[in-house]
């Protein structure tokens, strides 16, 4: 063990966590019923190419398979790994992946198994501090969405529980930033995505087909081809419940010319279950607060406290048979035009009620509240 690893191991021992290099022997399991248990940390072996020059998906997957549950996997600071296939986790528990700023370069691909992480029927998985970069050249353009190639995600999950995704920088995958669905009849549940950026992806920012208790908070989305948040069950057995999309920052979305795009689309299969969805306190810069919920039977939808700077004039709200809809406290901002022969005041906004100039289709809508803000002007600086 070199001096650096001895130092790391020494520090780790003081913190109650051990670090092991390479593919070590099994760590001691946590005592049955223990409330807390120190995880053993395993360093990614140095003989796995960390320059990005060669495909290491096989060797990294083998290494991860050798690491026992209730462990942490530490990636080198600032390393680069090329993945031609996903790092697959099946029926794993209590694994944390600390990227330490490393980059995962995913190669060209159109399939979920071409993603960076493919996680199925696993519990208590944490993924933190990676850049996940695809090679989708169309990303960020009007041709970003391809109906023939749209299923490579940064992270794809089926039937998972207790997953925490944090501090990722996702860009240029051909599909969604994150996809959350079911394995057979087993929905995913308790998933948190926070403090992450998703940019120039080929389909949606986040897609949900079968999941409950999903929170997306303090994320940045920009140059999204289709929807920012797409709730679209594939069948009547799918759906989404207890979903929170809050305190996020949204730049451009809807780049594709193939379909109309929305901040939130909650449609999908007839008979699917979608309820208790909250979209609140988000900021949209240059894009509309646009929502489509047109599959009948959706209920308890709350869209509150969002602010959008938008001059597109696009229809904003499309609702059909939504029971228990709260649309309140949302503000639409239009920049003041330049006076003749002059320049616009970049700090003055004209704020209009969110319901003015908006197309609303409300067929059998129950409990629809639209408390629009009073028109006024305020000073506001851009980020």
Number of separate helices (H) and strands (E) present in the chain: 2, 34
- The answer to whether residue 16 sits within a structural domain is no
- The answer to whether residue 89 sits within a structural domain is yes
- Residue 59, phi then psi, degrees to nearest 5: -70, -35
Confidence of residue 316 (pLDDT cuts 50, 70, 90): confident
- The answer to whether residue 267 sits within a structural domain is yes
Confidence of residue 162 (pLDDT cuts 50, 70, 90): very high
- The answer to whether residue 137 sits within a structural domain is yes
Taking only the tens place, the pLDDT of each residue in 109-150 is: 888 899 999 999 999 999 999 999 998 888 889 988 988 888
Strands 348-353 and 376-379: antiparallel
Which residues are CB-contacts of 6 (< 8 A; sequence separation ≥ 6)? Answer: none
Question: How high is the pLDDT of residue 321?
Answer: 92
Confidence of residue 19 (pLDDT cuts 50, 70, 90): low
pLDDT top residue among 372 and 327:
327
C-alpha torsion angle, residues 273, 276, 280, 286 (rounded to 10): 10
The DSSP element (H or E) to which 7 belongs, if any, is helix 3-14
Taking only the tens place, the pLDDT of each residue in 74-84 is: 999 999 999 99
- The answer to whether residue 66 sits within a structural domain is no
Question: How high is the pLDDT of residue 45?
Answer: 96
- 305 close to 271: Cβ distance less than 8 angstroms: no
CB burial of 323-354 (b: ≥16 within 10 Å; e: otherwise) equals bebbbebbbbbeeeeeeeeeeeeeeebebbbb
Residue 203 pLDDT more than 80? yes
Taking only the tens place, the pLDDT of each residue in 331-382 is: 988 754 545 544 443 433 333 333 323 334 333 333 333 322 222 222 222 2
Taking only the tens place, the pLDDT of each residue in 236-262 is: 999 999 999 999 999 999 999 999 999
pLDDT top residue among 168 and 364:
168
Question: How high is the pLDDT of residue 144?
Answer: 87
- CATH number, domain with residue 328: 2.160.20.10
Measure Cα distances from 204 to 13, 45, 170, 181, 254 in Å: 43, 34, 12, 14, 9
How far apart CA 3 and CA 269 sit, in angstroms, is 58
Mean pLDDT of the region 197-206: 97
- The answer to whether residue 4 sits within a structural domain is no
Question: How high is the pLDDT of residue 29?
Answer: 38
Question: How high is the pLDDT of residue 149?
Answer: 83
- The answer to whether residue 361 sits within a structural domain is yes
Question: How high is the pLDDT of residue 263?
Answer: 97
How far apart CA 172 and CA 73 sit, in angstroms, is 25
Question: How high is the pLDDT of residue 335?
Answer: 58
- The answer to whether residue 12 sits within a structural domain is no
Confidence of residue 22 (pLDDT cuts 50, 70, 90): low
Residue range(s) defining the domain that contains residue 319: 74-379
Residue 4 pLDDT more than 50? no
Taking only the tens place, the pLDDT of each residue in 176-194 is: 999 999 999 999 999 999 9
The total number of structural domains in the chain stands at 1
Confidence of residue 39 (pLDDT cuts 50, 70, 90): confident
Nearest to 134 by CA among 71, 63, 60, 84: 84
How far apart CA 85 and CA 82 sit, in angstroms, is 9
Average pLDDT, whole number, for the chain?
Answer: 82
């Amino acid at each position: 063990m070199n001096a650096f690893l001895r130092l790391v191991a020494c520090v780790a021992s003081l913190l109650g966590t051990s670090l092991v290099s390479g593919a070590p022997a099994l760590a001691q399991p946590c005592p049955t019923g223990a409330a807390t248990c120190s995880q053993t940390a395993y360093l990614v072996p140095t003989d796995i190419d960390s320059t990005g020059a060669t495909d290491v998906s096989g060797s990294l997957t083998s290494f991860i398979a050798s690491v026992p549950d209730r462990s942490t996997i530490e990636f080198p600071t600032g390393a680069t790994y090329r993945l031609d296939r996903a790092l697959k986790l099946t029926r794993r528990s209590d694994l944390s992946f600390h990227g330490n700023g490393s980059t995962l370069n995913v190669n060209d691909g159109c399939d979920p198994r071409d993603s960076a992480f493919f996680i199925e029927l696993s519990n208590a998985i944490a993924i933190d501090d990676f850049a996940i970069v695809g090679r989708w050249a169309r990303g960020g353009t009007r041709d970003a969405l391809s109906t023939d190639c749209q299923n490579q995600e940064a992270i794809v999950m089926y039937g998972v529980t207790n997953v925490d995704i944090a501090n990722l920088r996702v860009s240029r995958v051909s599909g969604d930033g994150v996809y959350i669905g079911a394995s057979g009849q087993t929905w995913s549940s308790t998933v948190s995505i926070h403090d992450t950026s998703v940019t120039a992806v080929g389909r949606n920012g986040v897609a949900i087909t079968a999941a409950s208790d999903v929170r997306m908070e303090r994320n940045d989305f920009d140059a999204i081809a289709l929807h920012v948040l797409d709730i679209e069950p594939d069948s009547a057995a799918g759906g989404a419940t207890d979903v929170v999309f809050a305190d996020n920052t949204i730049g451009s979305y809807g780049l594709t010319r193939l379909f109309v795009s929305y901040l939130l689309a909650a449609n999908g299969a007839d008979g699917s279950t979608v309820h208790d969805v909250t979209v609140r306190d988000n900021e949209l810069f240059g894009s509309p607060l646009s929502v489509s919920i047109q599959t009948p039977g959706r209920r308890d939808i709350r869209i509150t406290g969002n602010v959008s700077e938008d001059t597109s004039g696009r229809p904003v709200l499309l609702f059909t048979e939504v029971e228990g809809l709260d649309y309140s406290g949302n503000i639409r901002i239009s920049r003041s035009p330049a006076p003749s022969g002059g320049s616009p005041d970049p700090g003055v906004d004209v704020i209009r009620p969110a319901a003015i100039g908006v197309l609303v289709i409300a067929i059998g809508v129950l409990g629809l509240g639209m408390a629009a803000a009073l028109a006024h002007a305020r000073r506001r600086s851009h980020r």
